[in-house]
Amino acid sequence: MSAKEINEIKAIAGSYNLENYDQVKDTFEWEDAAKELSYFQTGKVNAAYETIDRHVEEGYGDKIALHYINGDERKSLTFNEVKHQTDHYAQVLKDHGVQKGDRVFVFLPKTPACYISILAVIKIGAIAGPLFEAFMEEAVKDRINDCKGTVLITDKELVKRVPQKDIPSLETILFAEEIDALPQAPAKESLVEWVDLEDGLIIHYTSGSTGKPKGVLHAHRSMIHHIISGKWVLDIQEDDVYWCTSHPGWVTGSVYGLFAPWLNRATIVIQGGRFKAENWYQLIAELKVTTWYSAPTAFRMLLSQGEIFKEYDLSSLRHILSVGEPLNPEVIHWAWNNLGLRIHDTWWMTETGGHLIVNLPNEKIKPGSMGRPFPGITVGILDSEGNELPRGSVGQLAIRAPWPGLMKEIWGNKDKFNSYFLYEGWYISGDLALQDEEGYVFFQGRSDDMINSAGERIGPFEVESKLIEHPAVSEAGVVGKPDPIRGEIVKAFITLRTGFVESEALLEEIRLFVRKNLSAHAAPREIEVVDELPKTKISGKILRRKLKEQELQKLHA
C-alpha cells in the first residue's frame, strides 16, 4: 500500500467507532458477542425482546426507532411506539390462537407494519415467514405450503396474489389495515414468550440450482451473530441513521434491515416505492442518513445516472456497505472520487444467517475482493475432495462450521441440509473463490447453475418449470447472462411446440406469463427460440452449462 493510501485509511478510520474491536479481535469468541445481549444475564431468550423491548426498559423509549418515507408520506416512530404496536399485533395473533413454533407469514410492502408484524410473530414464539412484496401467486403458494403456514398477515391489495384455496394449511388471514384500526388494549401482561436459543426465529425461502426454493430456518441464537456484526461491520453508533435498501422478504432486509440495527438500537429508515435515483439521493439528504447498506446493481444504476448526485447534500454519509453480488472496483472508485467514501463489501448467504467475509471499516480495502473472514470465522478453499488448497488457488469457498447465525435446518429436507456439509466440519457455500496471502477473499463464480440477477438468487429450475407450463413452450433451459448493470440477467432458451411460430408477441407473452405467475425478478429478460436444447446423453437432462458456454462465447466474439 502506498503512504497516500495508508493516510487515507487512517483519515477515514478516525470516524469509525469499532468499540473494543481492536482489543478483542485476535481473541474473539462468539461467547463474547453473547455478552452483548441481555439474555446472557437473565437466561431468558427472545430476539424480539432484545430488538425493541429491551431498549424501552433501558430508558431509550423516546429515541426514534424508524423513519418511514414513501413518496410524500413521512412517519417516524419511537422505540416506545414500536413496542406498543408490536404488542398490539402480538395480542391479535394470540387472540387468533397462534402458538409457539407456528409459521406465520408476512406479505406486506416495505412499511412499518411489515417490520412490526415480523417482530410480533417472533415475540410470541412463532416463526416469521416474510415474503417479498413482488411475489406472485405461485411463489406465495409454494412457500406457505412448504412449511404449512397457518396464519398470514397481509393487506387488501397484496391478498389478491394469495391463492387461498390452494393453501390448505392457511387458517387465518389478517389485514394490517384492520389490525391498525382495532382499539389497542393496554397489555395486561408481557406478551414475550421466552424460548430456547435453538427455537425457530425466521424462515427465508431461497433458490438453489435444483428444485423449488428451500425454506432456510434460522434460530434465535442468530441474534448473537446479528448484534456483533451490526456493531463491527455496520459500525452502528448512537446517532446513526441507518438505511438498508432491501425488503425484509430477503435475508439482507431482515438480518441487516431489522435485527442487526435494532439490536444495536439504531434509528432505521424504511423506504417504500420503487427505485429512482432522485428519490434515493433525496432520502439520504433529507433524513441525513449516515450508514447505507445496498447492492452493486443499485450502485451501478446510480452511477449510470451521471452527476445528479451533485444536486443533493450527501455529506451526512459516513459508511457505505454492499452485498449480494460482485462489487466492481469501478463502483468503489466512483464512490471514493465522488462521495469521499469507500464502499465496504460483505459476503454471506441466506443460509449463513450473518456476515462471514467482510471489510471492517478501519481496515484496508482491496477493490475486487469481498474482504476478510469476520473474527471467529475460518475460511477454507477446498478442492473437489474437500482438501484445503494453498493460498492463491481457486476452489470451493467453505467455512468452518458452526457459528451462531448458521441455519438450523432446511424445512422438511434433511438431505438438502446435509448436502452443505459434505466434508467433515465444513459448510460449503457453492461459491468459488481464492484467498490471498493477506487473507482477502476474491469471488470467482458459482460452482452450480444458480443465477444472481441484481443480487437476487434465482434458481433456473423454478423458471424452467414455469416456462413449460405455457402452452407454446415444449422445453426450456435457463441460464444467467452477464449484464453490465444487473450482474446477470435471466436468459431462457426454449423450443416451441408444433403449431406455434416464433414472433415478438409470443415471446413477450411468455415472458409476461412467468412475470405474472412467479415474480418479476425471475422472468427472463431474454428468450431465444432454438430447434433443440443440448442434453446429457444418458439421462436426457438439459445441459445448462453448455447453453451458458455458448452464450459467453457469443459475448466475447
Residues that bind ligand WTA (CB under 6 A): 206, 251-252, 323-326, 345-350, 370, 429-431, 443, 446, 452, 457
CA angle 437, 439, 444 (to 5 degrees): 95
Residue whose CB is nearest to ligand WTA in the complex, by number? 350
**Shorter beta-carbon distance to ligand WTA: residue 346 or 362:** 346
Instruction: Determine the Cα–Cα distance for residues 464 and 455; give it in Å rounded to an integer.
Output: 20
Residue 456 CB, shortest distance to ligand WTA, in Å, is: 7
Q: Which helix (H) or strand (E) holds 91?
A: helix 79-95
Instruction: Determine the Cα–Cα distance for residues 298 and 252; give it in Å rounded to an integer.
Output: 14
Instruction: Determine the Cα–Cα distance for residues 41 and 485; give it in Å rounded to an integer.
Output: 48
**Shorter beta-carbon distance to ligand WTA: residue 114 or 327:** 327
Residue 431 CB, shortest distance to ligand WTA, in Å, is: 5
Residue 423 CB, shortest distance to ligand WTA, in Å, is: 17
**Shorter beta-carbon distance to ligand WTA: residue 109 or 326:** 326
**Shorter beta-carbon distance to ligand WTA: residue 375 or 487:** 487
The three cell numbers locating residue 452: 444472481
Residue 503 CB, shortest distance to ligand WTA, in Å, is: 35
With helix as H, strand as E and coil as C, how does 266-278 read? CEEEEECCCCCHH
Residue 508 CB, shortest distance to ligand WTA, in Å, is: 28
Strand residue runs (E) in 94-213: 103-106, 127-130, 151-154, 172-175, 200-206
Ordered alpha helix ranges (H), 183-295? 222-232, 251-254, 260-263, 277-287
Residue 406 CB, shortest distance to ligand WTA, in Å, is: 13
**Shorter beta-carbon distance to ligand WTA: residue 115 or 347:** 347
Residue 484 CB, shortest distance to ligand WTA, in Å, is: 16
Residue 250 CB, shortest distance to ligand WTA, in Å, is: 6
Verify cis geometry, omega within 30 degrees of 0, for the bond prior to 402: yes
**Shorter beta-carbon distance to ligand WTA: residue 376 or 455:** 455
**Shorter beta-carbon distance to ligand WTA: residue 430 or 534:** 430
Give how far Cα 136 sits from Cα of 132, 254, 519, Å: 9, 20, 5
The three cell numbers locating residue 507: 415471446
**Shorter beta-carbon distance to ligand WTA: residue 332 or 473:** 332
Residue 175 CB, shortest distance to ligand WTA, in Å, is: 29
**Shorter beta-carbon distance to ligand WTA: residue 287 or 370:** 370
Edge-first strand listing for the sheet containing 487-496 = 473-483, 487-496, 526-529
Edge-first strand listing for the sheet containing 441-446 = 379-382, 395-400, 426-435, 441-446
**Shorter beta-carbon distance to ligand WTA: residue 12 or 251:** 251
Contacts of 42 (CB under 8 A, 6+ apart): none
Angle between helices 504-517 and 460-467 (to 10 degrees): 120
How many Cβ atoms sit within 10 Å of the Cβ of residue 430? 17
How many Cβ atoms sit within 10 Å of the Cβ of residue 210? 15
Give the residue among 144, 255, 131, 141 at the shortest CA–CA distance from 201.
Answer: 255
Residue 134 CB, shortest distance to ligand WTA, in Å, is: 15
